[in-house]
């Protein structure tokens, strides 16, 4: 068994009106793990992340961070409890400078640390340090994604949620951010990664769950990464 759980979901259900987007979802992410969440469009992956973050309230079930219940808490208090979400579409503040975007990331920081507050971002993505005075909107897509991840990291979260971080990036940039995920795990940050790039995710993560129609269908390990048929079968299972 892996170490103590950082994140636990138990029987979570999320609804939009009368439609359940996620049903009876139970999963756990151990401290220092990367757990992947893959599945077809509309499977409920982003909804799951939004429910953890409090953006979309869960109707039923338990969500716990380090054993502490999160349900019914406000978005900002969940952020301040130690979860950072890198949302789909990056959502950086294009009119603000790179540094201002990073300063916003500090809003959720729980204590002050010695040294450069932007350290966690700059060590991983040196380009952000170089461009810190630039308008964020003028960065390339890959750099904007680096900024979005860096902005989440400066709050020194226990758990990092990533919503399709490779979407719309050039292949080289995708390589860059997947490499970064490994480095983030090495410093002890737990990651829950929602992705469309199934094979890469399975290869990277300690475990990858396949979500179809709002329900967990299958769990894959790194060994399954080369088994394309198995991954495809998991997607199609219904």
118-157 binders of another protein (CB under 8 A): 151, 155
Kindly state whether residue 116 participates in binding another protein, applying the rule CB under 8 A: no
Among 3, 4, 68, 76, which residue sits at the site for another protein (rule: CB under 8 A)? Answer: 76
Q: Is 60 left (phi over 0), alpha (psi -120 to 50) or beta?
A: beta
Identity of the residue, 3 or 116, whose beta carbon is nearer to another protein in the bound complex: 116
Burial level of 23, CB count in 10 A (0-12/13-18/19+)? middle
Stretch binding another protein (CB under 8 A), from 38-46, 71-79, 114-122, 216-224: 71-79
Over the window 12 to 51, marking each residue x when it contacts another protein by CB under 8 A and - when it does not, the resulting string is: ----------------------------------------
For 163-207, give the DSSP string: ESTTTT--HHHHHHHHHHHHHHHHTT-EEEEE-S-HHHHHHHSSE
Q: Are residues 70 and 79 in contact, defined by beta-carbon separation less than 8 angstroms?
A: no
Q: Are residues 84 and 159 in contact, defined by beta-carbon separation less than 8 angstroms?
A: yes
Among 15, 104, 224, 230, which residue sits at the site for another protein (rule: CB under 8 A)? Answer: 104
- Total of chain residues touching another protein, rule CB under 8 A: 23
**Of 226, 236, 188, 204, whose CA–CA distance to 37 is shortest?**
204
Among 21, 27, 34, 53, which residue sits at the site for another protein (rule: CB under 8 A)? Answer: 53
Over the window 154 to 193, marking each residue x when it contacts another protein by CB under 8 A and - when it does not, the resulting string is: -x--------------------------------------
Kindly state whether residue 88 participates in binding another protein, applying the rule CB under 8 A: no
Q: Are residues 62 and 9 in contact, defined by beta-carbon separation less than 8 angstroms?
A: yes
Q: What share of the chain is helix, strand, coil (3-state, %, to 5)?
A: 40, 25, 35
| Three-state DSSP state, 156 | coil
- Given the rule CB under 8 A, which residues bind another protein? 53, 55, 74-76, 79-80, 84-85, 87, 91, 93, 95-96, 100, 103-105, 107-109, 151, 155
């Amino acid at each position: 068994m892996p170490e103590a759980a950082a994140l636990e979901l138990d029987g979570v259900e999320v609804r939009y009106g009368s439609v359940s987007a996620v049903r009876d979802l139970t999963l756990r992410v151990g401290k220092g793990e990367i757990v992947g969440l893959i599945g077809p469009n509309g499977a409920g992956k982003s909804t799951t992340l939004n429910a953890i973050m409090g953006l979309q309230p869960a109707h039923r079930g338990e969500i716990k961070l380090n054993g502490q219940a999160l349900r019914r808490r406000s978005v900002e208090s969940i952020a301040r409890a130690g979860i950072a979400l890198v949302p789909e579409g990056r959502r950086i503040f294009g009119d603000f400078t790179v540094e201002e975007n990073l300063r916003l990331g500090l809003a959720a920081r729980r204590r002050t640390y010695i040294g450069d507050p932007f350290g966690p971002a700059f060590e991983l993505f040196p380009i952000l340090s170089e461009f810190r005075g630039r308008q964020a909107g003028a960065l390339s897509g890959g750099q904007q994604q680096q900024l979005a991840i860096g902005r989440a990291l400066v709050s020194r979260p226990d758990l990092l949620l990533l919503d399709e971080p490779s979407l719309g990036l050039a292949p080289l940039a995708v390589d860059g951010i997947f490499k970064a995920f490994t480095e983030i795990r090495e410093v002890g940050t737990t990651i829950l990664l929602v992705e469309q790039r199934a094979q890469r995710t399975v290869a990277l993560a300690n475990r990858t769950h396949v979500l179809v129609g709002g329900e967990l269908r299958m769990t894959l390990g790194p060994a399954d990464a080369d088994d394309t048929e198995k991954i495809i079968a998991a997607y199609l299972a219904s």
